[in-house]
């Protein structure tokens, strides 16, 4: 069996300013998703879909953590305005985003830009990356993550 890669550890504040450290979630599955920006159409849809599916993930023992470079204040407003129930973590220095390889060159509207590459990592209860999705397309993504959790948890 192939050896899984250890997930880079981190501590980041959420939309209420409360710090979350990855090692606090040992013993649980973690869906860690990286997204470019609060209040944009694709990011709003992704966060809404994860919020709607939150109970399904929790029943399987999985927590959902979203990460972007936006501020704690921006996350608070995003959650309030869009009625989101997921935990959003603020990484303005992009250290965690970079550690997971979710920062880099991407195409946007035909131009090459530097930014957050929409990515999701499924971290097992031992703190290892069990599955990853890079260059995520929002449509159908939450369902794909749910299927993988169902497969690995059962």
Annotated catalytic residue, options 11, 21, 43, 79: 43
Q: 129-133 and 119-123 as β-strands: parallel, antiparallel, unpaired?
A: antiparallel
DSSP string across 60-106: TTEEEEEEESS-HHHHHHHHHHHT--SEEEE-TT-HHHHHTT-EEEE
Cβ(78)–Cβ(48) below 8 Å: no
Give CA torsion, residues 58, 31, 43, 69, to 10 deg: 120
To the query of whether residue 11 is one of the catalytic residues in this protein, the response is no
State how far the Cα of 94 lies from the Cα of 116, in Å rounded to an integer: 9
Q: Where in the sequence numbering do the catalytic residues fall?
A: 43
């Amino acid at each position: 069996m192939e050896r899984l890669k250890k997930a880079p550890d981190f501590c980041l504040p959420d939309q209420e300013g409360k710090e979350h450290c990855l090692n606090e979630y040992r013993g649980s599955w973690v869906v860690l998703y990286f997204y470019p920006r609060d209040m944009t159409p694709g990011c709003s849809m992704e966060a809404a879909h994860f919020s709607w599916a939150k109970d399904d993930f929790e029943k399987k023992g999985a927590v959902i953590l979203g990460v972007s470079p936006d501020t704690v204040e921006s996350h608070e407003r995003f959650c309030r305005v869009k009625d989101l129930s997921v935990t959003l973590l603020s990484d303005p220095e992009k250290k965690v985003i970079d550690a997971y390889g979710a920062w880099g060159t991407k195409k946007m509207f035909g131009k090459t830009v530097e930014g957050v590459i929409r990515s999701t990592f499924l971290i097992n209860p031992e703190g290892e990356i069990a599955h990853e999705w890079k260059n995520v397309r929002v449509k159908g993504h939450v369902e794909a993550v749910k299927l993988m959790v169902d497969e690995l948890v059962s």
